[in-house]
Every structure is written in C-alpha cells, then in structure tokens.
Amino acid sequence: MSTTSHSEGQGSLFDRIGGAKAVRSLVEDFYALVLADPSLAHFFAHADMNKLRRMQYEMFAAALGGPVKYTGRPIVHAHHGLNIALVDYQRFVQHLFDTLAKFPLSEQDCYDIISRLNLYTNDVVSAGTGIVG
C-alpha cells in the first residue's frame, strides 16, 4: 500500500506525465474533444488552431513545471470578448479531465493539474457566471 500523499512522485508534473512529447499529445487529444463538442466548437470558429495548440502546449508545459516559457498573450487578453460562461469553462475542464484519464497519472496528479488551470478561471470566464457585481 502506498503511503504517498500530496507531494507524491519524483520530479515535476511535467516529468511525471512524460515530458514534452506527452504534453504535446495531451494538447492534441484535448482539443480533438473540445472541437467535437457542439457546445464549445463555435468559440474556436475563427481561432488559428495551430497557434492555439502551440500556445497551449507552452502554457500547459509551464504550468506543470516544465522547462518551457509561455510566450503567448496574457490569458485574460486571449479570452477577452469571447463571452465564455462558467458552464462552458466547466465543459472545457471536463474534457481535460477525460483526456488526463488516458495518461498514466495518479488521481492526485490529475487534480493538481486541474487546480493549476483553475487559477485562470476568472481570466477566461466573462459571461453568465451567475455572480453579480
């Protein structure tokens, strides 16, 4: 029985997930799910998906503690005016969760990754949060 806890495993999440190659394939798989979701696909109708995948790779890799620098626009600027609601954000994260489940990660690692991205919720969501003011 493992006695590991929060700080389980060696190295960064980036290393544990399998490095650059794994993060690239994670981003591929993830956007395949997002674009196949009729409630999300329209947001990406005018997006340059190649650039988006590249930026998301950097963003994920950096967020997971990898030796990569994010060179894209600030997250708040990239999503400004897209009118993304909390429910859209939640579906997006659900697809990420489903994608992560295909990788050899512990449940704790999956939650850690999602928590890191959830730091950006307020930068991404701009519509229908149900929170007034």
- The residue (of 106 and 118) whose beta carbon lies closer to ligand HEM is 118
- The residue (of 4 and 71) whose beta carbon lies closer to ligand HEM is 71
Stretch in the footprint of ligand HEM (CB under 6 A) among 12-20, 46-54, 97-105, 107-115:
46-54
Does residue 102 bind ligand HEM (CB under 6 A)? no
Q: Return the residue of 97, 120, 126, 129 that touches ligand HEM, per CB under 6 A.
A: 120
In three-state secondary structure terms, 118 is helix
Of 128, 103, 126, nearest in space to 113 by CA: 103
User: What is the enclosing helix (H) or strand (E) of 104?
Assistant: none
Q: How far apart are the first and last CA of the chain?
A: 49
Of 102, 117, 107, 28, nearest in space to 64 by CA: 117
Binding site for ligand HEM (CB under 6 A): 40, 43-44, 47-48, 51-52, 55-56, 59, 72-73, 75, 78-79, 82, 84, 88-89, 92, 117, 120, 124
